[in-house]
Amino acid sequence: MNFDSIVFIVTLFVILPNEAKVLKKTSNTCEDILGDDLIEEIWSYRNVKDDILKYVLDGDFKGKTYDELAKFVDKFGARPSGTDVLEKSIDYMIELTKKEGLNDVITEEVKVPLWERGEEKITMLEPREKDIALLGLGKSATTPPEGLTGEVVVVRNFEELEGISEDKIKGKIVLYVPVFTAYGETVTYRSQGASKASAKGAIASLVRSITPYSLYTPHTGSQTYADGVVPIPTAAITLEDADLITRMYDKGEKVVLNIKMSSKLDENKISRNTLIDLKGSEYPEKLVIVSGHIDSWDVGQGAMDDGGGMFVSWAAPVILKRLHLTPKRTVRAIFWTAEELGLIGAYAYEKAHRNESDNINFIMESDEGTFAPLGLAVSGTQKARCIIAEILKLFKSINASTLVEENSPGSDIAIFTGNGIPGASLHNDNGKYFWFHHTEADTMNVENPDELDLGAAFWTAVAYIIADLSIDIPR
């Protein structure tokens, strides 16, 4: 979920929320790099692309992705790492896949943590009494049963924190109030805030939820304690309460909170990555991977993060199987486990398959919502990007021809693209994604059947074309 990279688009425009830039033209255009024969080959997939879109948007698969996602989410709800419900949901997906005639399904065991939140309560004691909504952050330390009581110090960024002497932080509660810019920029206050506050002697840390919009919904998420610091309780509070406290603090009022948080942590649970293969006809050892993660936070129901992304990846080999389309290379769908607590499933897969990494032709991930697809965010060489850009031109009819260049697209697949493997994440119309992200509001109400159809059709067709091309995507 990193939006910080410099990007480029097929049209030579960069499109990010509320901004646009024009890139300088290079001496070698994509037409020069690819050559007429490869461009002609890519355009020869027009008809098969149309067949896939028609089958999903107007044919027998219409509404299927949404319906299956709804059944799954309604049956299992939240699926936290290390829980029985997560493992039952994995079993369910295996059986659902086999009913579609796809029998090349295996799971690989992964040791994962189970973090269970208990009682969580914050009460403002001064300058007036008020309950403060919160969500503890992943693996947060606990408080004593009676809680921790302390005065609040409000800081807007890490530089401001560094400029405050330790004696003014020691024994107090640090509240970070960053204004949401891009997720990749602002999330550091959630992931690193507790460690930096603890290093200055704070007894607890809070963060203004990492979101641009709130209806009094706190947003949870992962955080990590740095080596050598005392783990302190840490939680997210709503934008409304963070702004209220900030206004009081800025007026010189003393703000005192009591924080009560309990939780349990077991680092030795076993979960599984799930691998589904539609074997290639000519190069079955070579892989085009489509993926999403099956686990979720314990709040909400994991419909958007990342049920939708998992189901469009499940749909790809299923749709190809139904349409009797067998590409030259294997299309492998992967449901990563334990993503939310640190990309644990992806790290385990990379380690277990490191000697096979040369066989990954292209890797894709959907983990930023499944709103209307706009294209792909791509990491790779210039020629790799040019190939994907040419493929995306085929999807102009559904407004999904945009290519965004990112050094680190996606979350789980960043491990692979960081090692030089070309890959992409779904670039979609997700301006409201972080409204619901890691909250109780992540439910089926966020999902749209028509947009899921578009996503599944686009995801499937792109994967098929890449897997069937006469050439590998270059590294």
pLDDT single digits (tens) 185-244: 999 999 999 999 999 999 999 999 999 999 999 999 999 999 999 999 999 999 999 999
135 with 236: CB under 8 angstroms?
yes
For residue 193, which of 133, 131, 242 has the smallest C-alpha distance? 242
* Residue 111 within any structural domain of the chain: no
Q: Name 166's Cβ contacts closer than 8 Å, sequence gap at least 6.
A: 200, 201
- Output the DSSP codes for 205-235: EEEE-S-S--SS--------PPTTS----EE
Last residue of a domain, one of 206, 238, 265: 265
The tens digit of pLDDT for each residue in 414-453 reads: 999 999 999 999 999 999 999 999 999 999 999 999 999 9
User: For residue range 34-67, what is the model confidence (pLDDT) as tens digits?
Assistant: 999 999 999 999 999 999 999 999 999 999 999 9
Sequence-distant (6+) residues with CB within 8 A of 263 are: 115, 116, 117, 118, 136, 139, 140, 142
- Residue 296 tokens read as 């979720």
Residue range 356-402, pLDDT digits in tens? 999 999 999 999 999 999 999 999 999 999 999 999 999 999 999 99
Residue 4 in domain: no
Q: Per residue in 320-343, pLDDT tens?
A: 999 999 999 999 999 999 999 999
| Residue at which a domain ends, from 211, 232, 265 | 265
97 and 123 assigned to the same domain: no
Residue 132 CB-density burial (10 A; 0-12 exposed, 13-18 middle, 19+ buried) = buried
- β-pairing verdict for 360-365 and 423-428: parallel
CATH number for 419 = 3.40.630.10
Query: What band does 9 get if pLDDT is binned at 50, 70 and 90?
Result: very low
Structural domain includes residue 272: no
Does 401 fall in a domain? yes
Q: Give yes or no: residues 86 and 194 share one domain.
A: no
Q: CB neighbours (10 Å) of residue 210?
A: 24
pLDDT one-digit tens code per residue, 80-131: 999 999 999 999 999 999 999 999 999 999 999 999 999 999 999 999 999 9
Whether residue 331 is found in the same domain as residue 402: yes
For residue 85, give both structure tokens. 């419900």
Q: Which of 119, 253, 285, 339 is catalytic?
A: 339
Q: What is the CATH number of the domain that holds 165?
A: 3.50.30.30
Residues near 323 by beta carbon (within 8 Å), at least 6 away in sequence:
51, 52, 55
pLDDT digit string, tens, across residues 245-304: 999 999 999 999 999 999 999 999 999 999 999 999 999 999 999 999 999 999 999 999
Q: How far apart are CA 154 and CA 147, in angstroms?
A: 20
| pLDDT > 90: percent of the chain | 94
The one-letter code for the residue type at 452 is L
pLDDT of residue 8: 31
Three-class secondary structure of residue 172 per DSSP: coil
Instruction: Please compute the mean of the pLDDT values over residues 16-25 and round it to a whole number.
Output: 35
Grouping H, G, I as helix, E, B as strand and the rest as coil, residue 439 is: coil
**Residue 24 falls inside a structural domain:** yes
| Domain edge (last residue) among 236, 265, 294 | 265
Rounded CA-CA distance 334/294 in Å is: 9
Q: Are residues 239 and 127 in the same domain?
A: yes
Structure tokens at 180: 């949401």
The verdict on 426 and 359 lying in the same domain is yes
pLDDT of residue 28: 79
Residues 243 and 300 in one domain: no
Same domain? For 301 and 222 the reply is no
d(CA 267, CA 249): 39
What is the extent of the structural domain holding 178?
116-265
| Cα atoms in the Cβ-side hemisphere of radius 13 Å centred on 219 | 28
| pTM (two decimals) | 0.93
Statement to judge: residues 314 and 437 lie in one domain? yes
Let me know whether 73 and 169 are in one domain: no
Identify whether 30 is part of a domain. Answer: yes
Nearest to 442 by CA among 217, 186, 118, 120: 217
Q: Could you tell me if 438 and 392 lie in one domain?
A: yes
Contact between residue 297 and residue 353 where contact means Cβ atoms under 8 Å apart = no
Both 444 and 305 in one domain: the answer is: yes
C-alpha distances in Å from residue 180, one per residue of 37, 235, 250, 333? 46, 17, 20, 33
Is 339 a catalytic site residue?
yes
Distance CA 223, CA 180 (A): 17
Q: Do β-strands 19-22 and 13-16 pair in parallel, antiparallel, or remain unpaired?
A: antiparallel
Q: Output the six-digit token pair for 14.
A: 């960069």
**Residue 271 included in any domain:** no
Burial 312-344, CB ≥16 within 10 A → b, else e = bbbbbbbbbbbbebbbbbbbbbbbbbbbbbbbb
What total number of domains does the chain contain?
2
- My answer on whether 133 and 248 are in the same domain is yes
| Pair 134, 207: CB distance under 8 Å | no
Partnered with residue 109 across adjacent β-strands are 272
SS3 128: coil
Q: Is residue 109 part of a domain?
A: no
Total Cβ atoms within 10 A of residue 178? 20
